[in-house]
Chains A and B, each alone.
Chain A
């Protein structure tokens, strides 16, 4: 959370008119990161590649990922099936390609949703303070105090296991963190002169919150977004592994590892391939997130 306060001190020098300059600054920083941090840059490229594969899965997948063929079950890698087939004779590679959709969806959608909810609540909480702040923050306390995987499991059991409900569960467990960060930023920002000035000339609260406070929180929100994605992807994998996540016949990587672990002794590739896929996607997002954090956080570089 340290980066928030730091961003704030830097922002002091800007006034309302220089928001755009601040945004340009982010892009400049990202550009600079791509130049200097090769690992993050390559990770970014990989992520773009994975997104393309996911969008055009039918083009990339050599087989129908759901086509069951009992007579060619658990075949090892071959020219026909590059990563072999699973226990129902389905092509593992095709299932992994389609599985990227689940992982990306689950990584992006709930993270975005939780960020939106967290940002709005955080702004309200930090800007207005008082009772509403107390209520929102105690709510956040409750969510943050729960061991997150347990909370997600309880939600999944309540709502029933499905990809859509996964979105809800992951949104619920993730909003509170964002809300806290945004709140602390909003709290220190609202003391600043330009906000006081806006208030005194009668600018509406909502305008102040979303036009003046929000843009100033943007840098840390971008970092938060990238660093939250891998967590969400891992949560999906964990929940699916425990049987309360994505539902078959959907090709979710966590689910595939869970089904494949029976064949760890005879056909390890059935479990390992999707496991490594999870590792790669999470790792690339983590590298990118780390790079962004370094690049955007002003105190990291002089």
Chain B
């Protein structure tokens, strides 16, 4: 008996021992803890008085330098301005003056003259002049910059020479005076104005950017633009903080700034939103959460949605057996019940597409011939093509994309109904893009969002002679190749768009080169205090927060 009692006593003492040691060890870090404790109320429930928009992102920006990234545009859209801005006016995408107050195009479509806004200041106090435009374009094309967005400027006369190291300065760009820039193109390029409204073409300051060197876009104090927000701080895997530029030339923004929390997991983001740690929940990576918010009385009025200028599609490798056979491609187009996928998996939030252009992009043809869902006919076509018992189809995808996988699995089960046995192969990103660049992927599901509002951005990217292989469509129709090159130089807008519609019919309908699936709606849920939250014209998650108002 005594033995047992003592044992219990002893145990109690032992339990206390580590507790005591842990107390003493936590005392050493006590100052830090009390400090955070006083800050804590702010962190747990957002104070109702601040006017800081709190958003989340699943990833760190690679850089804030708009020339050195091809996908992290949220901050560039807010830190910098472009000569021309793409915005949504009454639900329609439009190009409006940015740093250029007005512009003229010569008759032959070769020379663009921009009249620049006066009294615009960069965040460092420097005045914006024509020289900054020159600098921006020269820097982009300079091979030592190692820029990623050179193709937005490479149609300018002399740009390629700079890229190849044969010249220092892009010949086609001239500063007529401090407030006038003249840009001459190599040959007419119809989407030029739309093209320079992309975030990659943000205007940089010569002085600050040259001084910053490699640190531009990394060192927050050296990263300056003319835009409505200034970078305040950026800690990797934690947050990026931006504050309002009170001297913004179009007027100070209504909010004091915005903070981007880096949260990789979409479900965590959602929990943070519901517990008030975030103001905005972007459902792009969490489409499955949409029905919950739509049916929840607390949130259903806080949903902001707009059609995306992007589409999902399945690309077949047109030069690889058996996809090189037209009848096979036609059969595959007919095997997928796109409407059911959209309705069941994405709550019907979107629109099935029979063309390669989303609805809001110029030149969209709403009368395109319907791609019917008809597994019976698909089987017949396969038999005619010489595959009465179907074949093995390999879909390649990146390994950590659950949304792609989901759709692939559904398509896999639909394909099995026409006797096509689908194998889904998951590879890591590097392998995937390497394979695709080499034109070695048989079938893949992907999506494309408009960089700028022009059909060229879609067709040229996937079906031109230059890009067909690197996109693994391996499309090979000399007529379309020639047509796509020609359409770039056409000056008459109406004739040009009509020409694109004809080519779309050849690519999607006659050649069945690709299977367009659908476009979806961009859906944000915002907190009660957020007003005037307008989705970007292209439905990107990366958007400008200039218009946003916070009412506490």
Is B345 a contact partner of A70 (Cβ separation < 8 A)? yes
Q: Does A160 contact B (CB under 8 A)?
A: yes
Q: Does B266 contact A (CB under 8 A)?
A: yes
User: For A87, what are the chain B residues with a Cβ–Cβ distance below 8 Å?
Assistant: 288, 345, 406
User: For A259, what are the chain B residues with a Cβ–Cβ distance below 8 Å?
Assistant: 402, 406
Is B399 a contact partner of A249 (Cβ separation < 8 A)? no
User: For B102, what are the chain A residues with a Cβ–Cβ distance below 8 Å?
Assistant: none
Is A262 a contact partner of B413 (Cβ separation < 8 A)? no
Given contacts A68-B413, A73-B344, contact A244 B399 (CB under 8 A): yes
Given contacts A70-B340, A264-B267, contact A161 B426 (CB under 8 A): yes
Chain B 402-418 interface 0/1 with A at a Cβ cutoff of 8 Å (1 = within): 10011001101100000
Q: Does B428 contact A (CB under 8 A)?
A: yes
Closest to A263 in B: B288
Is A248 a contact partner of B424 (Cβ separation < 8 A)? yes
Considering the chains assembled together, what is the distance between the CA atoms of A70 and B412 in angstroms? 13
Is A258 a contact partner of B402 (Cβ separation < 8 A)? yes
**B338 shortest CB reach to chain A, Å:** 12
Closest to B400 in A: A243
Q: Which of A221-246 contact B (CB under 8 A)?
A: 242-244
Considering the chains assembled together, what is the distance between the CA atoms of A36 and B266 in angstroms? 49
Point out residues on A near B: beta carbons under 8 Å: 67-68, 70-71, 73, 87-88, 157, 160-161, 242-244, 247-249, 258-259, 261-266
Closest to B429 in A: A157
User: For A242, what are the chain B residues with a Cβ–Cβ distance below 8 Å?
Assistant: 400
Q: Does B305 contact A (CB under 8 A)?
A: no
Considering the chains assembled together, what is the distance between the CA atoms of A285 and B109 in angstroms? 75
Considering the chains assembled together, what is the distance between the CA atoms of A265 and B266 in angstroms? 12
Considering the chains assembled together, what is the distance between the CA atoms of A47 and B405 in angstroms? 32
Given contacts A70-B340, A160-B431, contact A262 B410 (CB under 8 A): no
Considering the chains assembled together, what is the distance between the CA atoms of A265 and B296 in angstroms? 13
Subset of 30 A-B contacts with CB under 8 Å = A68-B410, A68-B412, A70-B341, A70-B344, A70-B345, A71-B344, A87-B288, A88-B409, A88-B410, A88-B413, A160-B428, A161-B428, A243-B399, A243-B400, A243-B402, A244-B400, A244-B428, A247-B426, A248-B409, A248-B424, A248-B426, A249-B424, A258-B402, A259-B406, A262-B266, A262-B286, A262-B288, A262-B402, A265-B270, A265-B292
3 pairs of A and B residues whose beta carbons are closest in the complex: A243-B400, A68-B413, A70-B344
**A67 shortest CB reach to chain B, Å:** 8
Q: Which of B367-410 contact A (CB under 8 A)?
A: 399-400, 402, 405-406, 409-410
**A248 shortest CB reach to chain B, Å:** 6
- Number of B interface residues in the complex (CB < 8 A): 25
Is A261 a contact partner of B412 (Cβ separation < 8 A)? no
Given contacts A70-B344, A262-B267, A265-B289, contact A161 B409 (CB under 8 A): no
User: For A68, what are the chain B residues with a Cβ–Cβ distance below 8 Å?
Assistant: 409-410, 412-413
Closest to A68 in B: B413
Considering the chains assembled together, what is the distance between the CA atoms of A161 and B341 in angstroms? 27
User: For B341, what are the chain A residues with a Cβ–Cβ distance below 8 Å?
Assistant: 70
Considering the chains assembled together, what is the distance between the CA atoms of A265 and B268 in angstroms? 11
**A254 shortest CB reach to chain B, Å:** 13
**B68 shortest CB reach to chain A, Å:** 25
Q: Does B427 contact A (CB under 8 A)?
A: yes
Considering the chains assembled together, what is the distance between the CA atoms of A58 and B426 in angstroms? 26
Considering the chains assembled together, what is the distance between the CA atoms of A73 and B426 in angstroms? 24
* Given A68-B409, A161-B428, A248-B424, 5 new contacts (CB under 8 A): A67-B413, A68-B412, A243-B400, A249-B424, A265-B292
Considering the chains assembled together, what is the distance between the CA atoms of A249 and B288 in angstroms? 20
**B278 shortest CB reach to chain A, Å:** 16
Chain B 277-313 interface 0/1 with A at a Cβ cutoff of 8 Å (1 = within): 0000000001011001000000000000000000000
Closest to A242 in B: B400
Closest to A244 in B: B399
Considering the chains assembled together, what is the distance between the CA atoms of A193 and B431 in angstroms? 57
Choose among B289, B340, B412 the residue that contacts A249 (Cβ–Cβ < 8 A): B412
**A215 shortest CB reach to chain B, Å:** 40
Considering the chains assembled together, what is the distance between the CA atoms of A205 and B340 in angstroms? 69
User: For B345, what are the chain A residues with a Cβ–Cβ distance below 8 Å?
Assistant: 70, 73, 87
Closest to B402 in A: A259
Considering the chains assembled together, what is the distance between the CA atoms of A241 and B331 in angstroms? 36
Q: Which of B303-342 contact A (CB under 8 A)?
A: 340-341
Given contacts A71-B344, A87-B406, contact A161 B288 (CB under 8 A): no
Is A70 a contact partner of B289 (Cβ separation < 8 A)? no
User: For B406, what are the chain A residues with a Cβ–Cβ distance below 8 Å?
Assistant: 87-88, 259
User: For A261, what are the chain B residues with a Cβ–Cβ distance below 8 Å?
Assistant: 267
Is B288 a contact partner of A248 (Cβ separation < 8 A)? no
**B57 shortest CB reach to chain A, Å:** 18
Is B344 a contact partner of A160 (Cβ separation < 8 A)? no
User: For A266, what are the chain B residues with a Cβ–Cβ distance below 8 Å?
Assistant: 292
**B257 shortest CB reach to chain A, Å:** 31
Given contacts A247-B426, A262-B267, contact A161 B410 (CB under 8 A): no
Closest to B343 in A: A70
Chain B 466-510 interface 0/1 with A at a Cβ cutoff of 8 Å (1 = within): 000000000000000000000000000000000000000000000
User: For B413, what are the chain A residues with a Cβ–Cβ distance below 8 Å?
Assistant: 67-68, 88
User: For B266, what are the chain A residues with a Cβ–Cβ distance below 8 Å?
Assistant: 262
Considering the chains assembled together, what is the distance between the CA atoms of A141 and B182 in angstroms? 65
**A253 shortest CB reach to chain B, Å:** 16
Is A157 a contact partner of B286 (Cβ separation < 8 A)? no
Closest to A259 in B: B402
User: For A88, what are the chain B residues with a Cβ–Cβ distance below 8 Å?
Assistant: 406, 409-410, 413
Considering the chains assembled together, what is the distance between the CA atoms of A87 and B410 in angstroms? 10
Chain B 439-474 interface 0/1 with A at a Cβ cutoff of 8 Å (1 = within): 000000000000000000000000000000000000
**B532 shortest CB reach to chain A, Å:** 29
Most chain A beta-carbon neighbours within 10 Å: one of B288, B399, B409, B427: B399
Most chain B beta-carbon neighbours within 10 Å: one of A70, A244, A258: A70
Considering the chains assembled together, what is the distance between the CA atoms of A222 and B292 in angstroms? 51
User: For A258, what are the chain B residues with a Cβ–Cβ distance below 8 Å?
Assistant: 402
Most chain B beta-carbon neighbours within 10 Å: one of A67, A71, A248, A264: A248
